[in-house]
Amino acid sequence: MVILITGITSGFGKAMAERLSAEGHTVYGTHRKAKELIPGVDYIKAESTVQQEVEAAVRQVMDEQGRIDVFINNAGMGIGGPLEFCSIEDCQRQMDVNFMGMVRYIREVVPIMRAQGHGHIICLSSIGGLVGLPFQGMYSASKFAIEGYCEALRLEIRKFGINITTIEPGDFATSFTAQRKSVDNPQVHEVYPGYAKSLEGIEHDETTGLKPEFLAKKISKIIRKKRPGYRYVIANPLQKLAVVARTILPPRAFAWVMSVYYKV
């Protein structure tokens, strides 16, 4: 298969590119600043927030391969902190990278797959796209947006033979934790004294979480399915339970559970 993955320099993107290339697929990956190149993977320098670079990346794959069988939208970033202290600029950046970056690529890829009569679009969402996470509200908002967009898109293009799958990872040990931008304002800790403790717990869960190779193995199986699922929660048992609890508990009861867990 010809596979295009966004954001392959680290974490999920790198693990997926390594595994899928090793399995014999033709893998193209976008990057901003690649340092270590994966043998057998074609690198394309492209920023998901720049329309011209997105168009050029997709065009390169088509010029060289003539098709795109699988598109995996993985590129993303996170902003942490109380929502009232998140600047408008940071909010816009969060949505532009995580949500609009996906939209830009999908608008280029769908016409190609429609003409082919087949294709599979996989979008990396998050458990935070199913459950609003305190002190990660803008990140959750960007992932909720991905969920809604993909749900609508799936209905619109199902007749063209294109599959749409969303992936909801839980906590994984990737560079995402270190790269997260935290709100920098002295007032944060005065107004939200529990924030530091909550952030400590969030970062502990992430750094001790599953390895990205675990997710890459799951993705490898998903792209081989004739009828892939609409969504896959890839997480530890407790986090999977939280997703189920979100749907069956009364909203007030679930909010209490979340407030206890996140110490808010």
Summarize the confidence of residues 146-175 as an average pLDDT.
94
Summarize the confidence of residues 108-129 as an average pLDDT.
97
**Closest-CA residue to 167 (of 147, 184, 196, 141):** 147
Question: What pLDDT is attached to residue 179?
Answer: 75
Question: What pLDDT is attached to residue 177?
Answer: 67
Q: Which of 76-90, 104-118, 166-180 has the lowest average pLDDT?
A: 166-180
Which residues are identified as catalytic?
Answer: 139
Summarize the confidence of residues 25-45 as an average pLDDT.
92
36 close to 52: Cβ distance less than 8 angstroms: no
Find the radius of gyration of the CA atoms of the chain.
18
Bridge-partner residues for 182, per DSSP?
A: 80
Does this model's pTM top 0.85?
yes
**Closest-CA residue to 3 (of 229, 230, 216, 235):** 216
Which domains does the chain possess? Answer: 2-261 (3.40.50.720)
pLDDT tier for residue 20 given thresholds of 50, 70 and 90: very high
